[in-house]
Amino acid sequence: MGKKHGHGKHAHPGKSGPPAAGQPMGQSGGSGAPPGGIAAVMARADALLERERWAEARALLAPLAAQRPRDSGVLRALCTTYRGESNWSALMEACERLIQLDPGESTALLVLAEAQANDDHPALALRSARQFLARWPNDPQAGTARKLIDVLQPEVTARVRASTLSAEIGDEMMALHEQALALLSRGEYAHSRQTEERVLQRVPHFAPALNNISTAYALEGRLAQAISTAERVLARDPDNMHALGNVVAYLCRAGRGAAATDWVAKLKALKSPHPEAWIKKAEAFSYLGDDQAVMDAYEQVRQASEGLALTEHPLGLHLVAVAAWRLGREAEARRLWRRALKLAPNLEPARANLEDLRKPIGERHAPWPFGLSYWIGRQVLEDVVSASKTLADEDDSEQVGRGLRGALARHPELSGIVPLLLDHGDPISRGFALGLAQYATTPELLAALVEFALGQRGPDAMRLTAANAARACGAMPAGRVRLWMKGEWSESQLIGFEIYDEPDERHGPQVQDLIERGALALRENRFDEAVAAHRQAQAIEPDAPDVLNNLAASLGAQGHDAESDALIERIFREHPEYLFARLNQASLLVTQSRLAEAKALIDPILQRTRLHISEFRALARVQIEYWLADGKIDGARSWLDMWESVDPDEPALEGTRLRVAMAGMLYRTTRKQTTRWLPPPIIGANTTAAEEPAAVPPAAPPATTPPPRRSNLPSLKRSPGSHARNALTSPEGELHG
């Protein structure tokens, strides 16, 4: 109902009204006095209520009511606040609590009836008004109660006649049904179902009660019971719009969208006499992501209504706006969202979508119809989060993956809804789905990652993360792939490296000592000592590629470019598969502007799935220099970002950042690149003997948005003592023994 029934805005429920400002309150008990004392807070609240500053009063009173749940004075003031805000559902609950504390609260009962009427529960309101008259027939407000009954009775009678309820028990059963609906909206699912069971004891096949029970089951995460209850309705009434919409939505949430095909076809064809049936259609089709079906349902009711009266439903308008945007009708979508917010200013999904659409196009999640709670029940979500707890405690993403695969075995529906969440979930839902797919890595979830990566939904960064995660697990080939980035299709390079940093000691103690002495000398710019130490190591192991590599770096730092270059070519000739040999040769080719030849050497390395941290640094350096030489600043910046993400404490990053920044400025005026200012050869290690490391988990569970497993952006945690050998760096290169 749209009218207010009852008293003026300032009336506090209760026969005697609120206590005077400054008097002690809460004679009924309670604890946890706020700063300033109860009396001071209530005095401020009363002053705000007198000025109709409802939101400010609520900010004071709601926490106080939570602290002092048996304080009737606080509840009276809170009821006044909710009434002023026209927050009818909250007012209903507050009045019920007040009446429980003091059954003699006559005004509270009448205000409860007003709230129930305005919250579209006319049978409940009728029952409350009758209770008021039965108990207080001579109360000064009895006339108001009688007027309320006169308004409500015809509406309740009409609803009973339109149902399968008999006139004898119709008012009573309709009130119980509306009570169950109110409980459902508060999250009291079990209590709601129990209330509807009382209806079914008298009317065993009352479809609205069964539909409500079905909804309660779904909100509890008990989808099998929700589906069977909806099917129970459809067995007797195949055209029941609510049951049809429910069974489609629940099958989607159960990961069984394909099983809903027949129901979807029936739902699309069905024309219901109920004015808001289109909203049930829009809701079901929104779960499926069937945008055109949502728009068709809206257009049908809009044309049939010959106006806008039947379409003025805030949630329905939001769902249509989502579908319109996804179909490219952006101006219409914005208009619909604005209309929805005008009707319901607190409609959070509409507001959140509009706020998200203010972001740059490559950072948007919008549009989405529902939040995560619409898709996954609390118990299921808690189980998944519990299964991923090791993310915060252990450096073992394989163990996390096993835990999440166990959760998937317990809740197989999750595999079916991950593609839907990636396609049209809100930011939390999409992050949850991405994290689950990255770590569980089942074939179904990897296929969902690939589909998401190659599509146009969601932020660019998340799709690139999905692509690299799929690449790391072999679900996508390495190399360049066509992705939707910044609102257009572009070629992107996929990489999927697992980065590890265990030390690798392949040399005897004497050679190892010489390598480390040379590395230290090189870092301290004592180039002659560095060359001497590395020549001594070469004399003991003349063909070791990493010994030769370190010597080449020392010679280059000493200024012997010709000898250094010749040694690089020799290493590559004798050890063509040695990663550092290939990268050093590629770096040399870049300095000679032989970019095609350099690329041919680099590309096979990009196919690898596992790199030592020193190998990754070397690859990042060469890639940065390659893209700078090619005049592609964005490519260089991309590799710089990846390097910073993997190894943010690496000292060589500072100089590299400067080179990229300077190159960006130079390329504004010229695309010609000098050659010899590039860094000397990269010094690296032979890492073939390193043991398989534990992949490092992200810092948060996948219910948010974890970094990719085996991706280009892991956060490394090195074991104690490994840093001295794994990250000995200088402005000229990388040393590792």
d(CA 482, CA 485): 9
| Position 561 confidence tier, pLDDT thresholds 50, 70, 90 | confident
| Residue 694 · residue 397 · CB < 8 Å | yes
d(CA 32, CA 43): 17
Q: Which of 146-150, 341-345, 579-583, 660-664 has the lowest mean pLDDT?
A: 660-664
Q: Which two tokens stand for residue 146?
A: 């009688």
d(CA 116, CA 93): 10
- pLDDT tens track for 108-122: 999 999 999 999 999
Q: Which segment, 126-130, 581-585, 631-635, is predicted with the most confidence on average?
A: 126-130
pLDDT above 90 (res 477): no
d(CA 356, CA 569): 53
| Position 730 confidence tier, pLDDT thresholds 50, 70, 90 | very low
Q: Please report the pLDDT score of residue 12 as a whole number.
A: 38
Ramachandran region of residue 340, left (φ > 0), alpha (ψ -120 to 50) or beta? alpha
pLDDT above 50 (res 481): yes
pLDDT above 80 (res 697): no
pLDDT above 50 (res 591): yes
Higher local confidence (pLDDT), 10 or 624: 624
Q: Please report the pLDDT score of residue 669 as a whole number.
A: 45
Q: Quick one: which of 434, 245, 459 has its CA closest to 363?
A: 459
| Position 699 confidence tier, pLDDT thresholds 50, 70, 90 | very low
d(CA 577, CA 571): 10
d(CA 227, CA 249): 9
Q: Which two tokens stand for residue 294?
A: 């949502």
| Position 331 confidence tier, pLDDT thresholds 50, 70, 90 | very high
Q: Which two tokens stand for residue 297?
A: 């349902």
Q: Please report the pLDDT score of residue 307 as a whole number.
A: 53
Helix, coil or strand: residue 734: strand
pLDDT above 80 (res 495): no
| Residue 546 · residue 725 · CB < 8 Å | no
| Position 20 confidence tier, pLDDT thresholds 50, 70, 90 | very low
pLDDT above 90 (res 217): yes
Q: Please report the pLDDT score of residue 267 as a whole number.
A: 95
Higher local confidence (pLDDT), 528 or 675: 528
Continuous segment of H or E residues that includes residue 154: helix 142-162
pLDDT above 50 (res 30): no
Other beta carbons less than 10 A from residue 333's beta carbon: 24
Positive or negative, the CA dihedral 61, 65, 66, 67 is: positive
What's the whole-number mean pLDDT along residues 459-475? Answer: 87
d(CA 214, CA 231): 9
Residue 38: exposed, middle, or buried by beta-carbon count in 10 A (0-12, 13-18, 19+)? Answer: buried
| Residue 663 · residue 639 · CB < 8 Å | no
Indicate the DSSP class of residue 307: S
- Which residues sit opposite 611 in a β-bridge? 499
Q: Which of 25-34, 75-84, 368-377, 677-686 has the lowest mean pLDDT?
A: 677-686
pLDDT above 80 (res 595): yes
Q: What is the mean pLDDT of the chain?
A: 82
- pLDDT tens track for 62-106: 999 999 999 999 999 999 999 999 999 999 999 999 999 999 999
CA distances from 336 to 277, 314, 368 (A): 19, 9, 14
Q: Please report the pLDDT score of residue 407 as a whole number.
A: 92
Q: Which of 9-13, 199-203, 303-307, 608-612 has the lowest mean pLDDT?
A: 9-13
| Position 734 confidence tier, pLDDT thresholds 50, 70, 90 | very low
| Position 392 confidence tier, pLDDT thresholds 50, 70, 90 | very low
Q: Please report the pLDDT score of residue 690 as a whole number.
A: 30
Contacts of 429 (CB under 8 A, 6+ apart): 368, 370, 371, 372, 375, 421
CA distances from 287 to 87, 237, 367, 420, 425 (A): 28, 23, 13, 8, 10
Q: Please report the pLDDT score of residue 35 as a whole number.
A: 54
Higher local confidence (pLDDT), 476 or 452: 452
Contacts of 672 (CB under 8 A, 6+ apart): none
Q: Please report the pLDDT score of residue 529 as a whole number.
A: 92
Q: Please report the pLDDT score of residue 306 as a whole number.
A: 62
| Position 695 confidence tier, pLDDT thresholds 50, 70, 90 | very low
Q: Which of 272-281, 363-372, 501-510 has the lowest mean pLDDT?
A: 501-510
Ramachandran region of residue 163, left (φ > 0), alpha (ψ -120 to 50) or beta? beta
| Position 264 confidence tier, pLDDT thresholds 50, 70, 90 | very high
